[in-house]
Structure 1
Amino acid sequence: MMSGVASLLLYLIVTVCLTVAQLPRPDGAGETLSVAGAAVAAVAATVWRPRCSVILLTDGTTSSTTVFTELGGLGAPWGVTVFQVAAEGKSPNMTEALLSRLVAQARRVRQVSWCVTVVVVSDDSAFLAASAEWIFKGRLLVWTNRLLAVTRRPLSHLRHLHTSFSMMNAMLLLLDDTSGYPRCSVYLFLPYSPPGASGVKVATWTHERGLQLTSPLQLFPDKFTRFVHRPQLVVAAEEFQPHVLVKATEAPGRSLSFAGPMAELLHLLANTLNFTYIFRRPPDGSWGAKQPDGTWTGMVGMVGRQEADLGLGPFGISATRAEMVDFTRPILIDYARIMAGRGRPEIDPWGFFLPLAPLVWVSILMALLVVFFANLLLYICSPPHDARNGLWLLNTIYDYLCVLLHQDVQQPLVWWWERLVLGGWLLMTLVLTQSYSGTLMSLLAVRYIPQPLQTLRDLLNEHSITMIWEANTAYVQYLKSAESGIFREVMDTEKAGRIMYVKSTEYTYMRDELVRLGTHVFLGEDLSGKVLMAQDFSNTGRCDFYASKEIFLPFMFCMIGQKNSPLLLSLNERIRSVTGAGLYGHWMSSTIPNSTSCVNAPTTITINTSLSLTNLWGMFVLLAGGHLLALVVLGLELLSVRNFYNRDPVKLFI
C-alpha cells in the first residue's frame, strides 16, 4: 500500500513538473511563491500531521526554478504534487475545462493521502475564484483538509472569494512587498458573515518575527463549531405529524413558526451553534422528488438550489436525493404500514359452529364410527345370538345419535356390554354438550370487527380500495423506480385510478372523509399513522382505525443541507448527542397523547343484550334445511313404496 501511494505521487510530480519546465520563466525575480515561500512553509508547519501531503496549484506565472526551490521548504511529510494551468491566452471556458480535469486528478491524490493541504498561488483574482469554485464543486477538499491561497492582490479586490472561502477550511495569505520588506497577512473568511464583511486577520509574518497570531482564532479553525456572528439561516419546513406541527399560520406582521420534536431539535442546534432561523414552506407543500426533466420539487429542491440552508424534515435517505442534497446523521428509523378503517361490529349467524373447532367435529364423527364397530364386533363375539332383525345395527347407530342430541333411547339393551359402551358414550357426550352450550352462550354475546387488509397482497386483491400516498416522498420515489416485485404491482394500479396523493397538511381530511368510510386506505410512516389514530381516539373515544401487521420500506430519517456544506458536520455531532441521550424519543412521547390506545385494539367485543333473529337466523336456516331434507326423503320413501305395491297389488291388502 505504501509503495503504491509513493509511486502514484512520484508519477504525478514528474509528469507535471516536466510540463512546467517547458514553460517560459517570467521576467523579474519577485515571484509571489518565491517571496512568500517562507510564510507558506510557516503556516503549513502548524498543521502538519503524519502522512500529510501538499497539492500545489499555480496559474503558469511561477517558474520551474521557483517551484523546485520552494518544494523543499514546505517540508510536507508525504511530498508535494504540483499542478499548473497556464491561463495566458486561453478563454475562460478553456480555463474552466482545464481546472475541472485538474481537480479530478488532484482528487486521486487526496484519496490516497491521510490529509492534504492545497496551496493555490496566483495574482489573478479570476483564477483564484475559478480554482476555489472547482475545488469546492469537485469535492477536492473535505473538512479535515485545508486550502491556502497565496496572492499579491489587495483584500478589497478579493471580496468575491468570500462565499467559497467561508464554506471551506480555507485561508488567504496576502503578500505585501511594496516597501521592500516582505510582509504577509493571513485572513480568514467566516461563514454567514454580514453583507459587506471583510476577512478577519488571524496572523502576520515577517522575516524578523516569523509567524505571529493577531486574533483569538487559530490558523484553520473549525469555523462551524460555534458561529462568531449570529447568522440567520433559512430553514425549509412543512407540517409532518408528529415530527413537525404548524404552530401559527402566516399573517401580516407575523412570521411562520412550527412546533414538535424536530422544532425542538432545531432550537437546540440554534442555541449551541449560535444562529437564528426563519421558516419557509415549499410552494407545493411536498418533501421533494426528482421530475422527468431533472428538476426537483418541494423542500429538497429549495435546499439544493440554495434557496434554503437547511431542510427540517425529517427526510428519508435515498440515493436519488443524495444527488441534490447532503444528509445529516439519522435521527430515527421508521417504516410504512397500511392504515385502514376498522369495520363495524358484525354478528356471525353461523357462530353456533364456533364453540367446537373443525377437528373436534371430525373427531365426533370418528368416535361415532368407533362405537358402531365396537358394537358390531362385540355382537359377533357374543354367542348365542338372539333373534334380532337385520335393522339392529342401524337402530344402534340411531340410538347413539339420539344420545348425542339429548334424545331418549327406545331400544332395549339385552347384553351387559351394550350398557357399558352406551354408558361411556353418555359420559363423553355429557361433557361435550355441556362445554358446547356454555361456550355458545359466550359466543352469542361477541361481535367481530373485521380487519382484512394486513398485507400489500391483501390490498392488491381488493380492487375496490383506493391507496393514498403522500406526494413526492422517498416512498413514492422508490416505488416509481421499482421495476419488478410487489412494489411494481402497487404502482401499476395507478393506471386503474387506485392511487391518489395528498399533502401532509391534508392528513386530517384524508382520515375523516376517506379512510373512515372504508373505501380508501393510507400508506405512510408508522408514526404518522399512530398520530392520526391517537388524535381520533382523543376526539371520539373510539378506535375506528387499525394498522396492518405487515411493515415495509424501512427508511432512515434525518435533516438535509446544501451539497458539500460543512455545516452538517457540526450538526451531526449535536444530533448524535441528542439521539444517544434519548431526547428525541422523549419529545416524541410527549407530543403524541394516547399514542398506544389503539395500537393493539381488540378485534372482538362483548355486549350485553337480548338475542335477536340477527344472532340466530343461521340456526333457523339449518332447521328449515333439515325439515326440507326430511320431506324430500319422505317423498322418496312414499314413491318407492307405491311403486313396489303397484307391481304386486295383492300385498296392498295384506
Structure 2
Amino acid sequence: MLLSHLFHQARQMRMESWCVRVVVVSHDPVFLATFAEWSLKGRLLVWATKLLVVTSLPLPQLHALLSSHWTFSMMNTILLNLEDTPPNLRVSVYTHLPYSPEGAQVVRVASWTPKRGLFIVSKVPLFHEKFSNFYSAKVNVTAEPFPPFWDEVKGPDNTTQYSGTDYMTLATIADALQGPTPTTVGLMGKGSSPTHVSQRSYVVGVGSRAAMWHNMLLHRLERFDYSWVYEYGSLDFSMAQPGIKPQWQSLYYPLTDVVWAAVLLALLLTPVVLLLIIRVGEQRQSANTIPAGVVVQDVAGMLVGQNLPRRLPRTSSSRILVATWLFFAVIMGSAYCGNLTASLTLPKFPPRAETVEQLVTTAERITMPPPGGEFKKFFLQSDSPIYKKLGELMYVIPTVDIGQQEAIERKQAHLENRRYQQLNIARKYTQADRTAMLYIGRESLLTGQAGWPIPHDAPYRPVLDRSLMAIIEAGLYEKWNRDLLFQAQLEAHQRLQQEGAEETDSDNKDRSLTITHLQGAFMLLLLGLCLAGLTFVVEFFSVLTSPPLNI
C-alpha cells in the first residue's frame, strides 16, 4: 500500500509539472524489477519523463533487466552501472534500443571515470529518440475487417492483401518511419490476438481493439489510451428511397387548386353569359329556342377539344364569346397536357425522413448489428422522448446486409457508421443507372471523437500523433475514402453492365409508364363508363314507360 501511495503521489507531481526527472538508486535487481512493474501499473512515466537508474549489476543481469521490462526497454530510460570500486571507479551508461539496424539491443552509450569525466562511446545520445525509425522491424497491429477502414482483398497467387483508409494511414506512417527498407507491419485478424500476450506487445490496437477508429468513451479510457483524434465516428440511419404510391389524383396534380377552381368558375359563367346572348337573339329574330342543356354541353365540349357545334347562333356577340372561350380552352388544354406529361414521366417523390424525429415517426422497425444492444439500453435510458422511442423500435440483427436488405423490403431503417453504409450501398445496393436503393439520413444519431486505441502512456504516441496530424491536414484520409467509394461504385456499375439482359429489361421498365402513373386515367374511364351505363338504363326505362307518340 505504501509503494502504491508513493507512485500515486509521484504521478500527480509528474502530471502537474512539464519537466520531470525520476532517479532510482538500488543494487537489488528484485527491487528494480518491482519498480518497473509498479511504475507501469501506476502510470508513473510518459515519454517526456526521463528515468535515470543507478545500480551495480553484472552485465548479464543488467542486459536481462533492460530487455525484459517495458519501463526500461521502451521508455525514455538510461542506466548508470557502477562497474568498479575506488580507486578504479568507472561508471558505464546503458540504454535499450527496441529498434535499430541490428534489432533490439542494449547499447553502452557513455562512460565516466574520475580522470576523464563523462565521454560518449557511441553515436547514440544519452536519451535517444527510440521511435523515429523502426528499421524494418516487425510491428504487431491488431486489425479487424471493417470497410472502408480495414478490408481484406485477394492478391496475386491467392494471397491476402489489405486495403482501407486506416490501413493506408498506417502504411503511410510506416513508410515515414522506415529504415533502409520499408517497415513490415504484422496484421492480426479479428480476435486473433493471443490472450497470453501482453497488450503492450501491440503498437496500435489493444487486445481485441483493432487499429481503426474507436469513439473516445470514459469507461474505455480505464483500459487503454487513444491516439490523436483524426476521425469523428457517427451513428447514422439508412432507409429505402421512397417510391411512388398509386394515386387516382394523378390527373388532378398538373394544376393547382386555385386553377381548378378558376376553370370550374369559368365553365359555370360562360354558359350563362352565352345563354343570355342566345335568348336575346331569339326574342329579336323569333327563332327556335335552343335548350339550356345543349348550350352547357357545347361549351363543355369546346373546353375538352370537341368539334365546334353548328347549332349556336351566328351573331357577332356570340361569335366573340365563342372565340374567346376557344382561345381559353386551347391555352388551358396545352398547359394541362404539358404538365400532365411532365408529372407522369418525372414524378415528384414523397418526402423522406432526414432527422431523428422524422425517423421515429416514419420507421416501423429499426435494426442494428451487434453491439446494438448497448445502444438500445442507452437510448431507453435517455430523457429525450425521441431517443426513448428510438430505443423501443430498435432490434439487433446479425449483419449489416440483413438490416439493409430488410430496409429495402420493409418500411424500416438500419443503424451503422456512415462511411461503412456508404460503401456497402455502393457495392450491393446500387442499380444499373447508378441510383442508390438506399439513402442515408442527413442528421446523425450520435457523433463523437475517435482515434486509434493504444496502450496507456505509450512512448511512441508523440511520433504517431505527429504522423496522423500530417496525414489528416494534407487531406489524404478524405481522399482515400473518396477513392475507395468511387472504386466500389465503378466496380458495381461494371458488374451490372455485364448483366446485359437484366439491364435492358430494367431500362425498358424505367422508360415505360406503369399503372402507378396512369391509375387516374383508368379510374376516370371506369367512372365515365358507369355514368354512361346508368344514363342508358334511365333512358331505356323512360322510353318504356312513356306513352307512344300519335302521328
TM-score per shorter chain, which class? 0.7 to 0.9
Matched, 1:309 2:215: no
Does the 8 A contact of 1:300 with 1:324 survive in 2? no
CA contact (8 A) 2:52 2:79 kept: yes
Q: 2:470 aligns with which of 574, 577, 598?
A: 577
- Superposition RMSD in Å: 5.3
The reply to whether residue 146 of structure 1 matches residue 36 of structure 2 is: no
Conserved 8 A contact 1:303-1:309: no
1:559 equivalenced with 2:452 (yes/no):
yes
Q: Is 1:239 aligned to 2:177, yes or no?
A: no
Cα distance in structure 2, aligned partners of 1:246 and 1:431: 63
| Cα contact 1:313–1:560 (8 A) shared by 2 | yes
- Give the aligned residue type for 2:122: S
Shift, 1:141, TM fit: 3.3
Matched with 2:187 is: 279
User: Which amino acid in structure 2 is aligned with residue 436 of structure 1?
Assistant: Y
Contact 1:302 1:308 in 2 (8 A): no
Instruction: Report the equivalent of 1:350.
Output: 248
Matched, 1:129 2:33: yes
The 2-side partners of 1:303 and 1:342 are apart by: 48
1:212 aligns with 2:114: no
2:98 counterpart letter in structure 1: P
Give 1:31-430 correspondences, 5 Å limit: 97-158=1-62, 159-160=64-65, 162-176=69-83, 178-191=85-98, 199-227=106-134, 230-247=136-153, 257-274=161-178, 275-283=183-191, 305-306=199-200, 308-311=202-205, 313-319=211-217, 320-333=219-232, 335-340=234-239, 348=246, 350=248, 352-353=250-251, 356-357=254-255, 359=256, 361-366=257-262, 368-369=264-265, 401-406=300-305, 423-430=323-330
Q: Indicate conservation of the 8 Å contact 2:233/2:449, yes or no.
A: yes
> Is 1:342–1:451's contact at 8 Å kept on the other side of the alignment?
no
Partner of 2:452, secondary structure, is: strand
Letter of the aligned partner of 1:216 in structure 2?
Answer: K
After superposition, where does 1:526-605 map in structure 2 within 5 Å?
A: 526-536=418-428, 543=435, 545-552=437-444, 553-595=446-488
1:497-547 Cα shifts (integer Å, max 9, x gaps):
x331328xxx5x776x65664577543233323322333479967646222
Q: Distance in 1 between matches of 2:447 and 2:507?
A: 33
Determine which of 391, 398, 406 is the counterpart of 1:491.
391
Matched, 1:525 2:417: yes
Contact 1:170-1:188 within 8 A present in 2 as well:
yes
TM-score using structure 1 length:
0.62
1:465-497 residue CA offsets vs partner (Å, 9 max, x unmatched): 562x3434xx87556434324444333334xxx
Tell me the distance in 2 between the aligned counterparts of 1:115 and 1:394.
104
The answer on whether the counterparts of 1:176 and 1:182 sit within 8 Å (CA) in structure 2 is yes
Separation in structure 1 between the aligned mates of residue 281 and residue 11 of structure 2, nearest angstrom: 107
Q: What is the CA–CA distance in structure 2 between the aligned matches of 1:313 and 1:393, rounded to whole Å?
A: 86
| Residues 298-352 of structure 1: CA deviation (Å, up to 9, x unaligned) | x899998446332354223221433322222344446444445568x86846374
Match of 2:544 in 1: none
Kindly provide the CA deviation profile for residues 408-460 of structure 1, in whole angstroms up to 9, marking residues without a partner as x.
Answer: 57996799777666654443332121122234345555688889565555554
CA contact (8 A) 2:139 2:186 kept: yes
Give the 3 Å change call, closer, same or farther, for CA 522–192 of structure 1 in structure 2: farther
Deviation string 1:89-114 (CA, Å, 9 cap, x unpaired) is: xxxxxxxx223323333344334433
CA distance in 2, matches of 1:307, 1:184: 32
Which of 313, 332, 340 is equivalent to 1:440? 340
Mapped contact 1:242–1:528 kept (Cα < 8 A): yes
- Greater relative contact order, per chain length (Cα 8 Å cut-off, separation 6+): 2
In 2: Cα distance, 1:144 partner to 1:610 partner:
71
| Distance of aligned partners of 1:238 and 1:112 in 2 relative to their CA distance in 1, 3 Å threshold | closer
Provide TM-score, normalisation by structure 2: 0.72
How many Å separate the matches in 1 of 2:537 and 2:407? 55
Q: Do 1:531 and 1:595's aligned partners in 2 also have CA atoms closer than 8 Å?
A: yes
Q: Which amino acid aligns with 1:622?
A: L
Secondary structure at the aligned position of 1:314 is classed as: coil
Deviation at 1:127, TM superposition (A): 3.6
Is this contact kept in 1: 2:364–2:393, CA < 8 A? Answer: no
Contact between 1:204 and 1:214, CA under 8 Å: does it hold in 2? yes
- SS of equivalent residue, structure 1 residue 148: strand
Deviations 1:259-317 (A, max 9, x none): 34433333333344345332222339xxxxxxxxxxxxxx8999984463323542232
Matching residue of 2:501:
none
The CA distance in 2 between the partners of 1:337 and 1:163, in whole Å, is: 41
Bigger Cα displacement from structure 2, 201-210 vs 622-631: 622-631
CA distance in 1, matches of 2:282, 2:312: 13
- 1:579–1:611: structure 2 CA closer, same or farther, 3 Å change rule? closer
AA partner of residue 209 (structure 1): R
Give structure 2 stretches of 5+ with no counterpart: 285-289, 494-505, 542-551
Q: Contact 2:397/2:403 (CA < 8 Å) preserved in 1?
A: no
Contact 2:225 2:457 in 1 (8 A): yes
Q: Give aligned pairs, total.
A: 516
Contact kept? 2:141, 2:211, Cα under 8 Å = no
Structure 1 stretches lacking a partner, 5+ long: 1-96, 285-298, 640-654
- Is the partner of 2:398 in helix, strand or coil? strand
Q: Give distance in 1, aligned partners of 2:223 and 2:417.
A: 23
1:533-567 alpha-carbon deviations (Å, 9 max, x no partner): 33347996764622224241345554322222122
SS in structure 2 opposite 1:185? strand
1:621 aligned residue: 523
Residue 398 (structure 2) aligned to one of 489, 501, 513: 501
Identity of aligned residues (%): 27
Change (3 A) 1:628 1:516: closer
Q: Deviation digits for residues 22-75 of structure 1, max 9, x if unmatched?
A: xxxxxxxxxxxxxxxxxxxxxxxxxxxxxxxxxxxxxxxxxxxxxxxxxxxxxx
Is the contact made by 2:99 and 2:133 (CA closer than 8 Å) also made in structure 1? no
Q: 1:276 to 1:419 in 2, by over 3 A?
A: same
- Is the CA contact (8 Å cut-off) linking 1:236 and 1:303 kept in structure 2? no
**Does the 8 Å contact 2:92/2:108 carry over to 1?**
yes
Instruction: Note if contact 1:445-1:607 (Cα within 8 Å) is conserved in structure 2.
Output: no
Indicate the larger mover: 218-227 or 540-549. Answer: 540-549
